[in-house]
């Protein structure tokens, strides 16, 4: 770099892009002064300047945004399969008819729970008349306000989850999250039973399944959802 001798090694007749890059490089190093100390290599992502695989993994997510629903999803008292399904549903990744169409897989475009256009997670889990009836019966059984139920105007599972979580008392939010995951899982299983087994259940029968499984969760020390059964009824 002394006396800018590095410039002499550039080839002649540089194309326009290379000339632009050269100009940028020259402006960056033009005022650089070399010291007499030997060079050293340090890793900027750790306090001691030493590389670690943990820090390398962490910088892959530098500047990324965490999903806003991770806490109320993963910290509930529901079983793992219910948590994973709710996560996929909110992300729009469960294999409803619309996703099967995108993947090019064979599918029946008709709704399994209702007559309507192409099935998707929002309609299946929130706005179908059958699903709406199921939600109403569950909230009544668990003595919770009916305003928590999704409505035909619900446009996002994520927004509805966040709004209803904020409407529930803080001490019952894990219980509410567990109940939502449980209801979605029961609804999904009913949909699959109709498609693959040609078996149909009424909304009242699904309610009985919710109560029964909540009791089993209680026995397995997952008592949050079942605790809602004994709470005072809320006004609507």
State the residue range of the domain holding 167.
71-230
Confidence (pLDDT) at 112: 73
Residue 43 phi/psi, 5-degree rounding, is -100, 115
Are 46 and 77 found together in one domain? no
Confidence (pLDDT) at 144: 87
Residue 112 lies in a domain: yes
Query: 232 near 143, Cβ under 8 Å?
Result: yes
Are 121 and 225 found together in one domain? yes
Residue 65 lies in a domain: no
- DSSP letter string, 121-181: HHIIIIISHHHHHHHHHHHHHTT--GGGS--TT---HHHHHHHHHHHS-GGGHHHHHHHHH
pLDDT at position 2 over 90: no
Are 125 and 96 found together in one domain? yes
* Residues 62-92 pLDDT 10s: 877 666 667 778 877 788 899 999 999 998 8
Distance CA 210, CA 136 (A): 13
- Tell me what the mean pLDDT of segment 222-229 comes to: 63
Are 155 and 180 found together in one domain? yes
Count how many domains the chain has. 2
* Residues 21-69 pLDDT 10s: 888 988 888 888 878 888 889 999 999 999 999 999 989 888 776 666 6
Are 54 and 109 found together in one domain? no
pLDDT at position 236 over 60: no
* Residues 87-135 pLDDT 10s: 999 988 999 888 988 888 887 766 677 766 678 899 899 988 889 889 9
Residue 66 lies in a domain: no
Are 76 and 54 found together in one domain? no
Confidence (pLDDT) at 220: 67
Confidence (pLDDT) at 169: 87
* Residues 153-187 pLDDT 10s: 899 999 999 899 889 888 888 888 888 998 999 99
The last residue of a domain, from among 59, 80, 108: 59
pLDDT bracket for residue 211 (50, 70, 90): confident
pLDDT at position 203 over 80: yes
**4: alpha, beta or left, given left = phi > 0 and alpha = psi -120 to 50?**
left
**Residues whose CB falls within 8 Å of the CB of residue 159, separated by 6 or more in sequence, listed in order:** none
pLDDT bracket for residue 232 (50, 70, 90): low
Are 196 and 98 found together in one domain? yes
Neighbours of 148 (CB within 10 A): 21
Mean per-residue pLDDT of the chain: 84
- Tell me what the mean pLDDT of segment 12-23 comes to: 83
Are 15 and 127 found together in one domain? no
Are 96 and 54 found together in one domain? no
Are 52 and 84 found together in one domain? no
Distance CA 200, CA 106 (A): 22
This prediction's pTM:
0.68
Residue 235 lies in a domain: no
pLDDT at position 17 over 80: yes
């Amino acid at each position: 770099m002394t006396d800018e001798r590095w410039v002499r090694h550039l080839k002649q007749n540089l194309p326009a892009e290379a000339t632009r890059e050269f100009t940028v490089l020259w402006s960056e190093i033009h005022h650089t002064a070399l010291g007499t100390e030997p060079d050293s290599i340090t890793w900027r992502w750790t306090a001691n300047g030493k590389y670690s695989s943990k820090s390398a993994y962490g910088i892959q997510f530098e500047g990324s945004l965490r999903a806003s629903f991770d806490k109320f999803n993963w910290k509930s008292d529901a079983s793992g399969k219910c948590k994973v399904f709710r996560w996929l549903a909110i992300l729009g990744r469960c294999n409803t008819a619309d996703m099967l169409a995108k993947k090019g897989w064979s599918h029946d475009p008709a709704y399994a729970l209702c007559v309507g256009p192409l099935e998707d997670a929002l309609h299946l889990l929130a706005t179908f008349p059958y699903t709406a009836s199921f939600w109403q019966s569950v909230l009544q059984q668990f003595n919770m306000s009916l305003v928590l139920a999704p409505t035909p105007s619900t446009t996002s599972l994520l927004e509805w989850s966040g709004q209803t979580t904020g409407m529930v008392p803080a001490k019952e939010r894990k219980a509410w999250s567990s109940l939502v995951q449980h209801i979605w899982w029961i609804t999904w299983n009913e949909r699959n039973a109709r498609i693959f087994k040609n078996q149909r259940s009424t909304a009242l029968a699904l309610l009985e399944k919710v109560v029964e499984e909540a009791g089993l969760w209680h026995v397995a020390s997952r008592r949050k959802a079942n605790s809602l059964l004994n709470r005072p009824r809320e006004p609507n």
